[in-house]
């Protein structure tokens, strides 16, 4: 897809218009996890934390203590520091405060949501790096978590939609992606789909060919993460031009396609085409074509 702007539009206005036009004109492939067919869903890959002050409500410290008393492990493991990770806000428009804990957990980072109208907690792996609330009736969580702590470390990015049918929350996973430790994060200013047309194409962790091993556990040359074969499809979320003017593309590989010799999952390196998880890699801008919408 080629975006065209009027000649008189300033560069800053052109840049600001890109996300709006993409939302209007791009679509994403439908997966079993609910990734929509008419909506562009992009994870904020560069974000490591969320600015809660913009949306949370001020509450008496006793409210946070009461929240922890129902979850004894919080104070037992973290003392009073847990309070910094407890936030009060309204998620579902019922005029009652809801509480979110998002921070260190018993094993890995952990998010727990306690709705003010009662019921069981909603719990998720990872911490919230972004949160959007729509009309105080629906919310979208952007979570970053560790999928694997053994080498190579694997990070997972997840987007969840929470809607409310009466007082009952309905959680839907709309996006899930994994990145191997050391993978360069994209500067997400572009979004389009590609297909591999060469017999094989090297998938790399960064837009540069290294002479040193990427990781001692990964028995691959340079920073190679594996091989992509002809017919593999994915979505470009960023581009980079190196010092030799070679163009690289950061691609989320569609979940139904296998990356040969990919180092994760670690145990047996098995591939599960039904897990609806994309995998982020970098490829040189050769041996691939742009797919039309």
DSSP 203-261: EESSSS--SS-SBTTB-SSTTEEEEEETT-EEEEEEEEE-TT--EEEEEEE-TTS--BT
Which residue, among 124, 63, 120, has the nearest Cα to 97 in the 3D structure? 63
Phi-psi category of residue 268: left, alpha or beta, with phi > 0 → left and psi -120 to 50 → alpha: left
Q: What is the pLDDT of residue 246?
A: 87
- HSE toward the beta carbon, residue 250, CA cutoff 13 A: 22
Distance CA 221, CA 211 (A): 7
Which pair of tokens denotes residue 233? Answer: 């499809």
Q: What is the pLDDT of residue 39?
A: 62
Integer angstrom CA distances of residue 229 from 105, 134, 219, 233, 268: 39, 41, 19, 10, 20
Instruction: Confirm if 174 and 160 have CB atoms less than 8 A apart.
Output: yes
Residue position matching structure tokens 């904020």: 44
Q: What is the pLDDT of residue 221?
A: 59
Give the start-to-end residue ranges of the domains of the chain.
52-180, 192-291
Assign 3-class secondary structure to 53-84. Answer: HHCCECCCHHHHHHHHHCCCHHHHHHHHHHHH
Q: What is the pLDDT of residue 123?
A: 92
Q: What is the pLDDT of residue 51?
A: 93
Q: What is the pLDDT of residue 250?
A: 95
Q: What is the pLDDT of residue 276?
A: 86
Run of H or E including 13: helix 11-25
First to last CA, the chain: 8
Per-residue pLDDT of the chain (293 residues; tens, 9 = 90+): 333 344 444 443 443 343 333 333 333 433 333 334 456 778 999 888 999 998 999 998 888 888 888 888 787 777 778 888 999 998 877 788 899 999 988 778 889 999 887 778 899 999 999 999 887 678 999 999 998 888 888 999 999 999 888 778 899 999 999 999 889 998 777 889 999 999 999 999 998 876 555 554 455 557 889 999 999 999 999 999 888 888 999 999 999 898 998 888 764 555 666 678 999 999 999 899 998 65
Distance CA 277, CA 286 (A): 25
pTM: 0.80
Which pair of tokens denotes residue 285? Answer: 């801008």
Instruction: Confirm if 285 and 249 have CB atoms less than 8 A apart.
Output: yes
Instruction: Confirm if 119 and 230 have CB atoms less than 8 A apart.
Output: no
Q: Are strands 278-284 and 168-180 parallel, antiparallel or unpaired?
A: parallel
Length of the chain counted residue by residue: 293
Q: What is the pLDDT of residue 208?
A: 81
Which residue, among 254, 243, 242, has the nearest Cα to 284 in the 3D structure? 242
Distance CA 228, CA 231 (A): 9
Q: What is the pLDDT of residue 129?
A: 96
Residue 15's SS3 state is: helix
């Amino acid at each position: 897809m080629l975006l065209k702007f009027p000649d008189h539009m300033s560069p800053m206005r052109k840049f600001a218009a890109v996300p709006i036009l993409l939302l209007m004109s791009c679509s994403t492939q439908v997966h079993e996890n609910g990734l929509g067919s008419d909506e562009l869903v992009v994870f904020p890959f560069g974000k490591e934390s969320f600015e809660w002050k913009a949306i949370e409500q001020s509450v008496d410290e006793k409210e946070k203590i009461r929240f922890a008393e129902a979850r004894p492990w919080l104070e037992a493991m973290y003392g009073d520091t847990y309070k910094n990770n407890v936030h009060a806000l309204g998620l579902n428009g019922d005029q009652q405060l809801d509480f979110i804990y998002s921070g260190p957990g018993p094993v890995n980072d952990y998010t727990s949501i306690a709705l003010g109208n009662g019921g069981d907690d909603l719990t998720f792996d990872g911490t919230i790096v972004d949160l959007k609330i729509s009309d105080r009736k629906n919310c979208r969580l952007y979570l970053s978590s560790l999928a694997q702590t053994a080498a190579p470390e694997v990070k997972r990015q997840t987007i969840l939609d929470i809607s409310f049918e009466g007082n009952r929350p309905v959680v839907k996973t709309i996006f899930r992606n994994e990145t191997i430790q050391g993978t360069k994060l994209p500067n997400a200013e572009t979004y389009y789909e590609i297909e591999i047309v060469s017999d094989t194409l090297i998938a790399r962790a960064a837009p540069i060919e290294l002479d040193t091993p990427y990781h001692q556990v990964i028995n691959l040359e340079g920073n190679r993460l594996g091989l992509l074969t002809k017919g593999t499809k994915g979505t470009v979320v960023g581009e980079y031009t190196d010092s030799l003017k070679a163009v690289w593309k950061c691609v989320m590989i569609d979940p139904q396609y296998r990356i040969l010799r990919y180092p994760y999952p670690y145990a047996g390196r098995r591939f599960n085409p039904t897990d609806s998880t994309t995998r982020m890699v970098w490829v040189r801008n050769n041996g691939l074509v742009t797919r039309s919408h």
